[in-house]
Amino acid sequence: MGVTKIGTAVRRKEDQRFITGRGQYTDDLDRPGQAHAVFVRSPHAHAHVRGIDAASARAMPGVLAVLTGEDVAADSVGGLICGWMIHSKDGSPMKAGPHPALAQGKVRYVGDHVAVVIAETLIAARDAAEAVLVDYEVLPAAADTAKTQAADAPQVHEVAPRNTVYEWQLGDKAATEAAFARAAHVTKLDLVNNRLVPNPLEPRVAIGEYEPGTEVFTLHTTSQNPHVARLVLAAFIGIAPEHKLRVIAPDVGGGFGSKIFIYAEETVCVWAAKRVGRPVKWTSDRTEAFLCDAHGRDHVTHAELALDERGKILGLKVKTIANLGAYLSTFASSVPTYLYAPLLSGQYDIPAIYCEVDGVYTNTAPVDAYRGAGRPEATFVIERLMEIAARELGVEPVQLRRRNFVKSFPHQTPVIMAYDVGDYNASLARALELIDYTGLAKRKRESARKGLRRGIGFSAYIEACGIAPSQAVGSLGAGVGLWESAEVRVNPTGSVEVLTGSHSHGQGHETTFAQLVSDRLGIPIEQVSIVHGDTDKVQFGMGTYGSRSGAVGMSAIVKAMDKVIAKAKKVAAHVLEASEGDIEFKDGRFSVAGTDRGLAFGEVALQAYIAHKFSGQELEPGLKEGAFYDPTNFTFPAGMHVCELEIDPDTGIATIDKWVAVDDFGNVINPMIVEGQVHGGIAQGVGQALFEGAVYDSAGQLVTASFMDYRMPRAADLPSFTVDMTVTPCPSNPLGIKGCGEAGAIAAPPAVINALTDALGHENIEMPATPQAIWRACRNTPAQLAAE
Amino acid sequence: MVAVNMTVNGKPASAELDPRTLLVQFLRDHLRLTGTHVGCDTSQCGACVVHMDGHAVKSCTVLAATCSGSQVTTIEGLANAAGLHPMQEAFRENHGLQCGFCTPGMIMTAVDLVHRKGFALDETTIREELEGNLCRCTGYHNIVKAIAAGAQAMAAEGPAQQVAE
Ligand code: FES
Ligand code: FES
């Protein structure tokens, strides 16, 4: 058993249990004496709740309790919170309405939580939920992002006039206006960034438990960040003291952001477990996931790009209305502000940027972070503008990008970010080679001969990952720090357990993190285990999102390992009777410099624990170290994705023929896992561009509430991808890692739409570009478009 | 309540059930075979695929009561004492899974696909045949590779693999 080096495509340690059906997802767990919860949900988007008659439901067989907003209030269960304070232009704090776990007199979206039925069996709970009679006074709904700020729109929360949560801005307005005044050319774009439902394949699940003897609560839940869940449930919702609440997120079947947030259901399960005196389990069905998991995107944007006569960008201005839904979810406020506008500069040197964002309430499900979170929206704005500007100026899109790339680093953008390192020309050049750009004209002719229209689309993306330096995010309104923790426990036999505050729900931490430890400590990967997802085991951690597990989570492990090595050197010095300064550690061996005397890592571990060779007063026995790592900067993964597709004008079907991704993620620990992350991200981005869209009708009914109506990308919709990498190591963390989890989802949508519009010969198509939309767009002549 | 009797992974399994009980609920809740997953409520995702009398079925769409007398194989019954099924091994070798939630259904579908279409599967066939299985993590790229490789490996193992079920 050798050492597994950083950079090798070692197969995943976690796979054995998943391929044999031995994974332990939350729904696979049943607790002794467990009862089942079913929520009574609002069928209306907006209504007063005049009364709830639960008498007959309570009398049904097997029913243990029916709880409502009155019970929540009586027990002083706090409301759900939004953990990021955004201030409006005028300095006023955002206007956040109350967000009770169960409705208090009013419901604000279809699926809103009115009551919960707890019964012996799931079937009994379902039957009883149907028997709860709710008297609704239905109100008109504000369901449309673009119209919700109208004076006559229904008001979602009293505290937020015109349904406006904040009117936020970033950048220098005067400088941007001045840039536009000098412009030789201005490209304008109106766009809708379509609303998406994250849909990890595993629906959310919560099991709450209460042990009266010890007064300890336990929550098993599908979470990307169990410690944050515990903190919020303890400190804000107030249902249990932090030290008496254990949160466990076992195997989690994908998250993509939607499992970051602290929802009503887990809150209710923990609270109800004590009230009912039984463990309470809730398993979401897919329809509930559609209705109530936080959605993503949903922007209406107007953007303008100012260029000089040579095609050099002078300025960018953007006005966005961002739908936040009916309540502010845990990080909702930050997504269309600080995760969005700071990325509008893209890979380009833009001297002046000004962005305004209105965050708005509507009678729709809460909107929060979904894979990429703000950065896909920003990339879509700038990459569509670049493509259209190039076409308007008659310049090759590739050429316009090259002309404007940031070429020297560090580069301070006008919107907060300081790009540390990158080589955008390199990823572009490699992508052009891989897509065979020189053969494009010929391929277009061949497609035309078959009656098809071929198009190519580019997307040069950048993202800010490795989230994030705590001081920086604190100054921007974050309620938490975004460091990460690690603890490295070396056992007397030399095996190692690493406790991390990161959480894996598909990313493969059990492999990548173990690979890092194997490489650094020189021990076989089989002797390393990664522990995560349990607040009783891991002291604290911030969890996994924002492509932070590598750059932040692994940096914490490196820091802890450095401490372990330093301590082990002291132990080795005693055992080898040498001075500490003479001890070298290399390839898993501690040796005395210039001699052949040395000890294997495992031998030193044993010596550390038996403590026979040193005095316990001089040196503490044991070998275990912890570290908190706070990043000094964001990381800036960037790259070039190119989509080449064919449209069949007779059917409107777009078939992606080639996909080239050249990403710069800095150093890579496991290329197999990184490529897998890119594949999955691209699929979600293509889904957004071509298929997916959450649609509410004017009454606020979600008309896409199942996989029958919401078109998920399937295998036959996608090609195999060509994925390659260029590397500029990240200078701000010890491993040089930038992060890779969101790149595909960020890069893909504009690549697809730029390819479609290239094939169509006009810009008049929105996401999702369904076959019907494409078919229509194929019939638009320039004359028709001008007349519109 | 209705009585059901079937064979699951080679062992007899029987129970008195609410007639509304789905096969997947019987497998998960009564037999504690939790490798078969539920990802939707409209028979669209394929996380629940098992083999019934040698054919792939979506166990969320079958009432347990209608399965009496049937032979059911779940993901837990696919590996035998000799080790992993070649399709399981192929998923690991080709990184055909991330969160693993779709994986049992994908593997059961893939084995059925090989039984139906043979060992030489091209990319288009595999992609089309995955019509009933959703994966949100992998973008399908490595699942397609895994299935092609798994099919080849099944060919190498020969007919023994076919009779195992
Ligand atoms: S659970 Fe989705 S198809 Fe069976
Ligand atoms: S691996 Fe997560 S859904 Fe397929």
pLDDT tens sequence across A301-337 = 999 999 999 999 999 999 999 999 999 999 999 999 9
Print the domain residue range for A160.
Answer: 140-196+295-405
User: Residue ranges per domain, chain B?
Assistant: 2-77, 86-164
Q: Name which residue sits closest to atom 2 of ligand 2, judged by CA.
A: B99
A643 close to A656: Cβ distance less than 8 angstroms: yes
- In DSSP terms, which residues pair with A280 in a beta bridge? A35, A208
A170 close to A342: Cβ distance less than 8 angstroms: yes
Q: For the beta carbon of residue A775, count every other beta carbon within 10 angstroms.
A: 16
Question: CA A374, A380, A381, A383: dihedral to nearest 10 degrees?
Answer: 130
pLDDT tens sequence across A617-635 = 999 999 999 999 888 888 9
Question: Is residue A616, in this structure, part of any structural domain at all?
Answer: yes
Q: For the beta carbon of residue A416, count every other beta carbon within 10 angstroms.
A: 17
DSSP state letters, A573-618: HHHHTS-GGGEEEETTEEEETTSS-EEEHHHHHHHHHH--SS-TTT
**Among B36, B31, B81, residue whose Cα is nearest residue B60:** B36
Task: Name the domain boundary from A563, A595, A629.
Answer: A629
**Among A611, A612, A662, residue whose Cα is nearest residue A641:** A662
Using CB atoms, pick whichever of A677, A679, A707 lies closest to residue B44.
A707
Task: Name the domain boundary from A596, A629, A662.
Answer: A629
Q: Pairing state of beta strands A280-283 and A35-41?
A: parallel
Cα(B150)–Cα(B104) distance, integer angstroms: 14
pTM of the model: 0.96
Determine the distance separating the centroid of ligand 2 and the alpha carbon of B140, expressed in angstroms: 9
**Which pLDDT score, from 0 to 100, does residue A480 have?**
80
Counting residues of chain A whose pLDDT is more than 90, the rounded percentage is 89
Find the mean pLDDT for residues A373-393.
97
pLDDT tens sequence across A188-223 = 999 999 999 999 999 999 999 999 999 999 999 999
Say whether B137 and A201 touch across the interface (CB within 8 A).
yes
**Among A372, A322, A378, A392, residue whose Cα is nearest residue A345:** A378
Mean pLDDT check: name the lowest of A40-44, A135-139, A156-160, A237-241.
Answer: A237-241
Count contacts between A and B (CB, < 8 Å): 178
Residues B86-164: name the CATH superfamily.
[2Fe-2S]-binding domain (1.10.150.120)
Q: Name which residue sits closest to atom 4 of ligand 2, judged by CA.
A: B135
| Tally of domains within chain A | 3
- Among A182-186, A235-239, A536-540, B16-20, which range has the highest average pLDDT? A182-186
Q: How close A444 comes to chain B (CA, Å)?
A: 23
The verdict on the CB of residue B108 being under 6 Å from ligand 2 is no
Same domain, A283 and A301: no
Say whether B93 and A507 touch across the interface (CB within 8 A).
no
Q: Decide if pLDDT at B115 tops 60.
A: yes
Higher pLDDT, B129 or A539: B129
pLDDT tens sequence across A723-760 = 999 999 999 888 999 988 899 999 999 999 999 999 99
CATH of residue A90's domain is: 3.90.1170.50
Q: Which residues in chain B (18-47) have CB-CB distances under 8 A to chain A?
A: 18, 20, 28-29, 33-42, 44-45, 47
Please give the angle made by the CA atoms of A470, A473 and A476, to the nearest 5 degrees: 150
pLDDT tens sequence across A694-722 = 999 999 999 999 999 999 999 999 999 99
Q: Decide if pLDDT at A537 tops 50.
A: yes
Residue in the structure block whose two tokens are 């239905």: A138
Up-side HSE of residue A407: CA atoms within 13 Å toward CB? 6
User: Distance of CA B120 to CAs A721, B24, B152, B155, Å?
Assistant: 21, 31, 7, 9
pLDDT tens sequence across A547-567 = 687 788 889 999 999 999 999
Cα(B144)–Cα(B140) distance, integer angstroms: 6
**Which pLDDT score, from 0 to 100, does residue A649 have?**
96
- Going by CATH, does the domain composed of B2-77 fall within 3.40.630.30? no
Q: Decide if pLDDT at B80 tops 60.
A: yes
Interface test with A, best of B97, B99, B103, B121 (most A CBs within 10 A): B99
- The identity of residue A422, as a single letter, is G
Sheet holding A583-586, edge to edge: A583-586, A589-592, A598-600
Instruction: Check residue B51 and report its DSSP letter.
Output: E
Same domain, A165 and A219: no
Asked if B101 is an interface residue toward chain A (Cβ–Cβ < 8 A), one would say yes
Same domain, A352 and A363: yes
Report ipTM (2 d.p.). 0.96
Interface test with B, best of A10, A14, A17, A18 (most B CBs within 10 A): A18
Cα(A651)–Cα(A310) distance, integer angstroms: 40
Question: Is residue A160, in this structure, part of any structural domain at all?
Answer: yes
Say whether A200 and B101 touch across the interface (CB within 8 A).
yes
Mean pLDDT check: name the lowest of A21-30, A487-496, A540-549.
Answer: A540-549
At B98, is the secondary structure helix, strand, or coil? coil
Question: Of the bound ligands, which one is closest to the alpha carbon of residue A507?
Answer: 2
A26 close to B28: Cβ distance less than 8 angstroms: no
**Among B43, B73, B36, residue whose Cα is nearest residue B134:** B43
Interface test with B, best of A16, A19, A36, A718 (most B CBs within 10 A): A19
Residue to mutate, B40, B95, B99, ligand 2, most ligand atoms under 8 Å from C-beta: B99
Question: Of the bound ligands, which one is closest to the alpha carbon of residue A684?
Answer: 2
Q: Decide if pLDDT at B159 tops 80.
A: no
For residue B45, list chain A residues with Cβ-Cβ distance below 8 A.
201, 286, 707
> Six-digit token pair at A40?
């009574």
Q: How close A784 comes to chain B (CA, Å)?
A: 37
Question: Is residue A313, in this structure, part of any structural domain at all?
Answer: yes
**Which pLDDT score, from 0 to 100, does residue A63 have?**
98
Same domain, A236 and A306: no
Task: Name the domain boundary from A568, A597, A629.
Answer: A629
Same domain, A309 and A393: yes
Q: Which residues in chain B (40-79) have CB-CB distances under 8 A to chain A?
A: 40-42, 44-45, 47, 74-76, 78-79
Cis peptide bond upstream of A768, omega within 30: yes
Same domain, A126 and A147: no
Close Cβ partners of A621 (under 8 Å, ≥ 6 residues apart) = A608, A609, A610, A611
- In DSSP terms, which residues pair with A658 in a beta bridge? A644
pLDDT tens sequence across A76-133 = 999 999 999 999 999 999 999 999 999 999 999 999 999 999 999 999 999 999 999 9
CATH of residue A328's domain is: 3.30.365.10
**Which pLDDT score, from 0 to 100, does residue A783 have?**
66
Residue B163 binned pLDDT confidence (cut-offs 50, 70, 90) = very low
For residue A714, list chain B residues with Cβ-Cβ distance below 8 A.
130-131, 134, 140
